[in-house]
Copies of this chain bind each other. A is one copy, B any other.
Amino acid sequence: MTEQHETPEGVSGRALRSNAPSRDIPQATVTRLATYLRVLAVLADEGVLIVSSEELAVAAGVGSAKLRKDLSFLGPNGVRGVGYDVAKLRARIEDVLGLSEGHRVILVGAGNLGRALAGYGGFRRRGFTMVGIFDRDPQVIGATIGGVPVRDVAGLHDAVAELEPTIAVVTVPDPAAQAVCDRLVAAGVQCILSFSPVALDVPPSVEVRRVDLAVEMQMLSFAIHTSSSAIRPAGVVVSAMEPTSRGGSGGGALRKHAGSSDAPHMSNGSVVAQ
């Protein structure tokens, strides 16, 4: 959906920290940086030390020029005639995205989706530590999910003070979403990822991203609809994909096989942020 594009005025707000990039980083670039990071993690696991923009681009599904442009916002990261140092580039992107110090995450709503997220190994692997899980159901409270005990949501306020989470993930039924959100805000949470399609009302100082699965499905629907109604050579569809050179495994020189990787089924969603 990414996206694209909300956030009219770029994204940032002038970063003034240590290694902060000098210019503002475009929103669209930030979205892709997260993708590059995932690919770099896989490469690192495979023992790859150096990667070229072309190889990285193919693995991430974008054009190499776009990738270089994206990386250029972080300052010089590669060596001309050689490529990028995988470990160094990875560290640089993590630093820029604010992932270096990790994040403490709490989850409110231990339903199926909440459990799926809590059990998602990819989180911890990427620096997100689940420090608290909350629910309203007495039958669920006290149980342990992914090693973290489920607490009564009634104690949310105090728990936030105790756990000091940097991010809260909300996976409660739609009607409860706003109330939970209000309590999180009252408790001082600044950053919320909501899986409810309802638009949450929060003060401007709080950052909310919303993920709506149905939106993804509907966009797929549109793709089918338009392609099936288009006049086209038999079997060929005008698809919404990147004009990436798609060559199975024949392309990249350094990639081996994709085994080790990440987490088992998890999820997530599309996106749509508030």
Q: Which residues of A contact B (CB under 8 A)?
A: 1-8, 11-17, 20, 27-28, 30-35, 37-38, 59-61, 96-99, 103, 105, 109, 111-117, 119-120, 122-123, 126, 128, 166-167, 171-175, 178, 190-191, 193, 195-202, 204-227, 229-232, 235-243, 246, 248, 258-274
Whole-angstrom distance between the alpha carbons of A156 and B44 in the complex?
Answer: 34
Specify which of B20, B105, B123, B230 is in contact with A15 (CB 8 Å cutoff): B230
Q: If A3-B268, A112-B115, A240-B6 touch, does A220 touch B209 (CB 8 Å cutoff)?
A: yes
A240 touches B27 (CB 8 A): yes
A-B pairs with beta carbons under 8 Å apart, 10 shown: A1-B272, A2-B3, A5-B28, A11-B222, A112-B116, A113-B113, A198-B261, A199-B263, A215-B271, A219-B271
10 nearest A-B pairs in the assembled complex, by CB-CB distance: A2-B3, A2-B2, A4-B4, A1-B271, A3-B4, A213-B268, A2-B271, A98-B225, A3-B3, A199-B263
Candidate in A111, A112, A241, A262 with the most chain B CB atoms within 10 angstroms: A112
In the assembled complex, how far is the CB of residue A22 from the closest CB belonging to chain B, in whole angstroms? 13
A122 touches B214 (CB 8 A): yes
Q: Which residues of B contact A205 (CB under 8 A)?
A: 235-237, 239
A31 touches B272 (CB 8 A): yes
Given contacts A3-B271, A115-B116, A199-B264, 13 further A-B contacts (CB under 8 A): A1-B270, A3-B270, A4-B28, A5-B5, A11-B240, A35-B272, A97-B218, A113-B265, A122-B213, A191-B223, A195-B266, A204-B236, A271-B272
In the assembled complex, how far is the CB of residue A75 from the closest CB belonging to chain B, in whole angstroms? 16
Q: Which residues of B contact A236 (CB under 8 A)?
A: 204-205
Candidate in A6, A105, A215 with the most chain B CB atoms within 10 angstroms: A6
Whole-angstrom distance between the alpha carbons of A115 and B265 in the complex?
Answer: 11
